[in-house]
Amino acid sequence: MKRKLYDLAHARAGDKGNTTILSLIAYKAEDFPLLRARVTPDAVKRHFADIIKGEVARHELPHLGALQFIGQDALGGGVTISLCVDAHGKSLSSALLEMEIETD
């Protein structure tokens, strides 16, 4: 069965230079193992194809139920010179929550 991350977690986006920093936090601790298994750096990179042009790295914070994604080359050169409406990429948190994963 496919579920949207929106139903399982909340998220917030930040930026540093041309890098997006996306925090994904499970609503329920018991959903963290599923998120850890399915929301891999590769899966996130595929989901953000054409937006995140560089590498995606992931940090895990299990007792906070959180995954932290760092996406390089994601912000049109960085907030100060980007031509994008959302130069900071702040709405990328919402884009992440649109991602669908397989649940067992």
Partner 1 sequence: MTDTVRIGCGAGFQGDRLEPALVLAEHGKLDYLMLECLGERTVALAQLRKLHDPAHGYDSLLERRMAGLLPLIKQNGVRVVTNMGAANPLGGAQAILALARKLGLKVRVAALTGDDVLDALDPRQKVLETGEPLASIGPLFSANAYLGVEAMLPCLESGADVILTGRVADPSLALAPLTHHYGWRIDDEDRMARGTVVGHLLECAGQLTGGYYADPGKKDVPGMATLGFPFADVDADGNASLSKVAGTGGKISRATATEQLLYEVTDPTAYLTPDITADFSAVEINETASDAISVTGARGKPRPATLKVSIGYHAGYMGEGEISYAGENCVARAQLAGEIVAERLRGQFQELRIDILGLSSLHTRAMSGGDYRPYEVRLRVAGRSADRDMAARIGEEIEALWTNGPAGGGGARKETREQIGIVSCLIARETVRPQVTVFET
Footprint of partner 1 (CB under 8 A): 10, 12, 14-19, 21, 23, 25, 27, 49-51, 59, 61, 63-66, 68, 70, 78-81, 83-86, 91-92, 95, 98
State the Cα–Cα distance between residues 30 and 50, nearest whole angstrom: 32
Which CB sits closer to partner 1, 92 or 104?
92
Token duo for residue 41: 């750096």
State the Cα–Cα distance between residues 55 and 16, nearest whole angstrom: 15
Q: Which residues pair with 11 in a beta bridge?
A: 24
Minimum distance of partner 1 from residue 13's CB (angstroms): 9
Minimum distance of partner 1 from residue 45's CB (angstroms): 14
